[in-house]
A = this chain, B = another copy of it.
Amino acid sequence: MEGFIMTREALKLVTIGGGSSYTPELIEGYIKRRDQLPIKEIWLVDIPAGEEKLNIVGAMAKRMVKAAGLDWQIHLTLDRQAALKDADFVSTQFRVGRLPARIKDERIPNYYGLIGQETNGAGGIFKAFRTVPVILDIVHDMQTLCPNAWLINFTNPSGMITEAIKTYGHWDKVIGLCNVPVMAMLSEPELIGKTLDDLTYKFAGIDHFHWHRVWDNTGQEVTMQIIDKLFGDDDAGLPTNIFDVPFFKDQLANMKMIPCGYHRYYYRQEEMLKHGLEEYANPEGTRAQQVTRIEEELFDLYKDPNLDYKPKQLAERGGAHYSDAACEAIASIYQDKKTHMVVSTLNQGSVPDLPSDHVVEVSAQVGAAGAVPMAFGHFQPAERGWIQLMKNMELVIVEAAATGNYGLALQAFTMNPLIPAGATAKHVLDEMLVAHQKYLPQFATKIKELNAAGLTVQDPIAAELTEKPALA
């Protein structure tokens, strides 16, 4: 791996999806680390459909930087290649198809009585299908425009996107991030009267499906103590976008590890489905619809020419801390801080129950040499079975996304524990192909066939959001 050019003391940072509502957190994260990062330019890139938001949030970013008394240049652009040219760090936070696509990812499965969620179930599969072609395109640009840059990915489903970048993009200098471990490490220590520095954390698994164990500074394992606090009276540490149904105590006692919030979809599938369908039936709608309104409110705030700091309302979004984690990863690499972070990176044996040459999410030391994963050792059979299923499903999804193989897409739907296999599942697959066709060039052949057969989206809201069949 070629080294990062440290002599470069004027950093060019690029963010793809710069018009995101999270951008203020990112800017705040950079400002917090002003002493660690000699930033010269920040390029916020978006696509034409996101131009308005880019301008709003970009203006605010400029105000934030100015208020901080910094001379950083903020560039707002729709020209991705211009932005990538000679970049030092590229971070990705884009959403292909934006929130309307997420609404479809939720509502179409819901319509058929299935869990609809952004990174799990049918919705998660389709988010990967839409995102993989774009990220591979970005990596392709980077090969020539900024071959030594680090790619910090926090576009979801972050683990699968990182897998695609490594396996199909053949790009090694990538770190995938997630806010779930960050939130756990922010909230758990105080539950047991400790600070984060007092504890040793070991995470292992894959993105949105990992467990962790914790030890205190006397060497005592405190995992079960945290479990008792977490899943006793209160439920600290859960992202706000996850409905809060408790785990079974008997299961946790056997597991002896702390599951992540997304495990609720798998360990309490029934209740998560029920809750999702209730939201679906409500006028307020599913999470994506709620988020759409939160976003609108956020952008209304951002328009305020006097606002020059990250508003507290942003924390209500489920993705809080993602951007800050990205800034921390960038600072850790640039300053060779050898920070403990939980990242999606090449396994290399750290999770020995999974293939060593694919991506896992694991505790790692992050520094100039990238992420060095810490060995977790073997899982017990129950967790081993789950994680082997889920990682292989990821590989199937990513391959289907990269190749457009319909049979593989169907295999992914069949494997997914949140989708009962059968005719309905296959129909949901087909309907979502039609619904998202604008962003699925790799599946063009199958989609043409489905369009020809007259398949249409049934959920009225999703139907309305379905753009004109580009592939018909």
Chain A residues at the B interface, C-beta cutoff of 8 Å: 1-7, 198, 200, 202, 215-221, 248, 250-251, 253-255, 266-273, 333, 336, 338, 340, 346-352, 356, 363, 365, 367-370, 372-378, 381-382, 384-386, 388-393, 395-396, 399, 405-408, 410-412, 414-415, 417, 420-426
Contacts and interface: CB of A to CB of B under 8 A. Distances in A.
Contacts of A390: 385
Contacts of A391: 385
A333 B426 contact: no
Contacts of A340: 338
Contacts of A395: 381, 385
Given A7-B218, A374-B374, 12 more contacts: A4-B220, A202-B372, A217-B367, A248-B414, A253-B407, A254-B410, A254-B411, A268-B421, A271-B423, A349-B352, A356-B378, A417-B417
Contacts of A250: 406-407, 410
Contact of A384 (B220, B255, B392): B392
Nearest to A266: B421
Contacts of A221: 1, 3, 369
A273 to B, nearest CB: 7
A169 to B, nearest CB: 18
Contacts of A422: 268-272
Q: In the complex this chain forms, how many copies of it are found?
A: 4
A218 B3 contact: yes
A247 B415 CA distance: 14
Contacts of A272: 422
A154 to B, nearest CB: 20
Contacts of A393: 381-382, 385
A411 B395 CA distance: 25
A317 B369 CA distance: 35
Contact of A382 (B220, B269, B348, B408): B408
Contacts of A384: 388, 392
Nearest to A255: B411
A-B pairs, 8 with minimum CB distance:
A3-B220, A270-B422, A385-B392, A254-B407, A349-B352, A6-B218, A388-B388, A215-B369
A80 to B, nearest CB: 24
With most chain B CB atoms within 10 A of its CB, the pick from A253, A273, A349, A405 is: A349
Contacts of A5: 218
Contacts of A408: 254, 382
Nearest to A372: B374
Does more than half of chain A's interface fall in helix, strand or loop, or is it mixed? mixed
A375 B396 contact: no
A384 B391 CA distance: 10
Given A255-B411, A352-B348, A396-B381, A219 B375 contact: no
Contacts of A392: 381-382, 384-386, 388
Nearest to A1: B221
A216 B3 contact: yes
A386 to B, nearest CB: 6
A381 B382 CA distance: 19
Contacts of A399: 381
Contacts of A417: 417
A426 B219 contact: no
Contacts of A266: 414, 421
A332 B390 CA distance: 37
A251 B352 contact: no
Nearest to A418: B420
Nearest to A446: B250
Nearest to A392: B385
Given A270-B425, A349-B351, A1 B368 contact: no
6 contacts: A200-B369, A219-B370, A250-B410, A254-B408, A255-B407, A348-B376
